[in-house]
Amino acid sequence: MRLSRVKAKLNRGEPVLITCCHFTDPSVYELVSLMGFDGIWLDVEHHSTSGETAASLMRAARVGTSDIIARPAKGEFMRMGRLLEAGAQGIMYPRCESAEEALELVRWAKFAPEGERGVDGANGDNPYCCMPMPEYLKTANDHTLLIAQLESPNALEQAEAIANVPGIDVLMLGPGDLSVIAGIPYQFDHPLITDAYRRVSEAAKNTGKWWGTVSSTPKHTQMLFDMGAKFICHGCDLIMVKQGMERIQERYASLGFTFDNRLISEAEELKSQS
């Protein structure tokens, strides 16, 4: 099995930077991994990526050095097991609301005696029944990274209890869902959000765990570093392509080219409905 680059760097006290890939072309995963990003966030909570496709994307990433940090949907513990079998180095678990739920995450992600994950070994993680099982089971338990996402006001109240669960490595604040649930959608400079950084930071510090979140700029990341964050998520292939295309349109509009940008017109129509 491939050991987690992210967990090794965190253990050395180094910051880690992962980026998100939504496109399902294996070439994207191959490119990002060859470029040496610490990890690739594979989101199967919000996207329709099948287990077979996810396995192919992970296989492409193995040519480089990036971890796969896979996010199943809330409560999808069986699917989480298949993602680990396919070779994910870490699990990002969404909407974790309590220590009891964090315990379930550990139970399904770790082999006995730390948990109850089912044993197979015939997929990419072992890989393919080629590693001695006792050593593999221990190594998988030691090196699989478990990230609990805190995405609601209730989860913030439970942050330290969640962090105290053995096997949980990282607390990750999810400001998007938190802002929506709290009734301040996407107001990321709202005092509730800035206070959430503090609360998650303190919970991690008090329990000896790592913490992190998404970050939009180096300046924002430095602010997070000042609060003790080590796990940073930045960027998304889909957004990068969109911004690149917008840049082309901006540069060539001065030459007289025009564009029927449906995204702009639909956004304006949506605003007019509110």
Task: Report domain extents, the chain.
Answer: 5-273
Check residue 87 and give its pLDDT: 97
pLDDT, residue 274, reads: 75
3-state secondary structure of 84: helix
Residue 166 pLDDT? 98
Structure tokens at 271: 């605003």
Tokens of 221: 């990341």
pLDDT at 54: 98
CA distances, 216 to each of 70, 212, 220 (Å): 21, 13, 6
Strand-pairing partners, residue 43, are 71
For 248, the token pair is 């082309």
**233/121 Cα distance (integer angstroms):** 30
- Report the CATH fold assignment for 5-273: TIM Barrel (3.20.20)
Cβ atoms of 211 and 224 closer than 8 Å: no
Coil, strand or helix at 149? strand
Are 173 and 150 in contact, with CB atoms under 8 Å apart? yes
Amino acid at 120: D
Give, for all 274 residues of the chain, the pLDDT tens digit. 899 999 999 999 999 999 999 999 999 999 999 999 999 999 999 999 999 999 999 999 999 999 999 999 999 999 999 999 999 999 999 999 999 999 999 999 999 999 999 999 999 999 999 999 999 999 999 999 999 999 999 999 999 999 999 999 999 999 999 999 999 999 999 999 999 999 999 999 999 999 999 999 999 999 999 999 999 999 999 999 999 999 999 999 999 999 999 999 999 999 898 7
DSSP state at residue 76: -
Overall pTM surpassing 0.75 (yes/no): yes
Q: d(Cα 105, Cα 107) in Å, to the nearest integer?
A: 5
- Rounded distance between C-alpha atoms, residue 70 and residue 167, angstroms: 17
CA 3 to chain centre: 17
**Which parts of 111-236 fold into alpha helices (H)?**
133-143, 153-157, 159-163, 175-181, 191-207, 218-226
Q: What is the pLDDT of residue 1?
A: 83
By C-alpha distance, which of 52, 29, 43, 143 is closest to 89? 143
Q: What pLDDT shows up at residue 130?
A: 95
Neighbours of 110 (CB within 10 A): 21
The total number of residues shown for the chain amounts to 274
**19 CB-near residues (< 8 Å, 6+ apart):** 32, 37, 39, 40, 41, 233, 234, 235, 236, 237
Residues 6+ apart with CB under 8 A from 102: 96, 148, 162, 165, 168
User: In the block, which residue shows the tokens 């998520």?
Assistant: 233
Q: In a 10 Å sphere around its CB, with 0-12 CB exposed, 13-18 middle and 19+ buried, how is residue 65 labelled?
A: middle
